[in-house]
């Protein structure tokens, strides 16, 4: 109960910071824009942290998350194609890009009898760089401004919710909530997988079918987030570890903890991004400043 109170208090503090901090004279219009940022930040942070926790539990690799697997950059690549064709980040294109990149990464990392963990990370990082380069190329060829490219690659919560895009955003929120609940139902399976794939198979879990199902759903969730706010990196890497430190290894608790902590982390990062310089930084810059040292720390522990 005390930990739940802490999570709620932390989220409320980060919401308050997001409301108070930032340029511009505080008024009704500024307040409305900041409320939009809060809604998007809670959505993006909670989904990315949840997906990172799911991927780490499924693959048994503490270094895995949508960004290091290349899924987020693949979704950004698909979204950039959607921007060029339709003038907005089409979620279907983002999903196709993330799915294609993910399958390429898995194909590279696959060896006879399973996946090679180090090769999985290296393949994901390489594909992430490739997709980011292709995003730059496609967007520049499509005569897009540099800030649009950077915000897509690094994440940006400052999109304006209008009557034209409000329905799509509401639909994405609803579908994402259903998918998160759908994956959360498998918390027992993730606990079993954490003890070893051999134990999971012995207890009747079809690992190949289960992994494909989870991977497709996670990819869909990541593509939704990227199509709205861009690729915010390292949320899915840092937050699951903090959640496990607070709630232990059982997924019934730490998956829920990831939702609260991820939302707080992204809101805090976005608040900082609006105070460092005159020009607003992408939220992903701040999350990377925290995430890269954390990634190095985890990699040295392996």
Per-residue pLDDT tens digits for 244-293: 999 999 999 999 999 999 999 999 999 998 887 767 889 999 999 998 88
Q: What is the pLDDT of residues 74-120, one digit of tens each?
A: 999 999 999 998 888 889 999 999 999 988 988 887 765 566 667 88
Residue 48 belongs to a domain: yes
Outline where 163-234 has alpha helix (H): 163-184, 187-194, 197-202, 207-229
Domain holding 70: CATH number? Answer: 1.10.3470.10
Q: What is the pLDDT of residues 128-168, one digit of tens each?
A: 999 999 999 999 998 888 888 888 889 999 887 888 889 99
In a domain, 11, yes or no: no
User: For residues 47-63, b (16+ Cβ closer than 10 Å) or e, as one string?
Assistant: bbbbbbbbbbbbbebbb
Range of the domain at 223: 40-301
The residue length of the chain stands at 302
Of 76, 33, 102, the closest CA to residue 228 belongs to: 76
How many other C-beta atoms lie within 10 A of the C-beta of residue 239? 31
Please report whether residue 32 resides in a domain: no
* Number of separate domains in the chain: 1
HSE, side-chain direction, 13 A CA sphere, residue 171: 7
User: Residue written as tokens 């270094």?
Assistant: 63
Kindly state whether residue 264 falls inside one of the protein's structural domains.
yes
Residue whose C-alpha is closest to residue 52's, from 213, 237, 209: 237
Q: Which two tokens stand for residue 110?
A: 């696959």
pLDDT in tens, 28-55: 888 888 999 999 999 999 999 999 999 9
């Amino acid at each position: 109960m005390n930990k739940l109170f802490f999570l709620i208090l932390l989220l409320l503090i980060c919401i308050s910071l997001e409301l108070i901090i930032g340029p511009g004279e505080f008024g009704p219009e500024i307040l409305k824009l900041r409320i939009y940022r809060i809604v998007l930040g809670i959505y993006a942070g909670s989904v990315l942290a949840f997906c990172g926790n799911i991927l780490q539990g499924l693959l048994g690799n503490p270094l895995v998350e949508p960004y290091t697997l290349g899924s987020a950059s693949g979704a950004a690549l698909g979204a950039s194609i959607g921007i060029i064709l339709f003038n907005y980040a089409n979620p279907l294109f983002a999903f196709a890009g993330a799915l294609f990149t993910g399958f390429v990464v898995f194909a590279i990392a696959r060896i006879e009898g399973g996946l090679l963990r180090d090769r999985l990370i290296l393949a994901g990082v390489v594909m992430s760089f490739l997709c980011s380069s292709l995003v730059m190329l496609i967007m520049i060829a499509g005569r897009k401004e540099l800030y649009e490219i950077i915000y897509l690659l690094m994440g940006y919560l400052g999109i304006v919710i209008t009557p034209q895009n409000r329905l799509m955003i509401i639909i994405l929120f609803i579908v994402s909530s259903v998918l998160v609940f759908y994956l959360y139902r498998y918390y027992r399976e993730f606990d079993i997988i954490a003890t070893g794939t051999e134990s999971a198979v012995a207890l009747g879990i079809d690992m190949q079918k289960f992994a494909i199902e989870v991977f497709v759903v996670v990819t869909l969730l990541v593509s939704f987030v990227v199509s709205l706010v861009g690729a915010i990196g390292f949320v899915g890497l840092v937050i699951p570890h903090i959640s496990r430190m607070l709630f232990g290894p059982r997924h019934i608790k730490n998956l829920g903890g990831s939702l609260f902590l991820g939302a707080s982390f992204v809101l805090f990062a976005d608040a900082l991004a609006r105070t460092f310089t005159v020009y607003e930084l992408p939220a992903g810059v701040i999350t990377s400043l925290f995430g890269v040292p954390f990634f190095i720390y985890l990699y040295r522990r392996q």
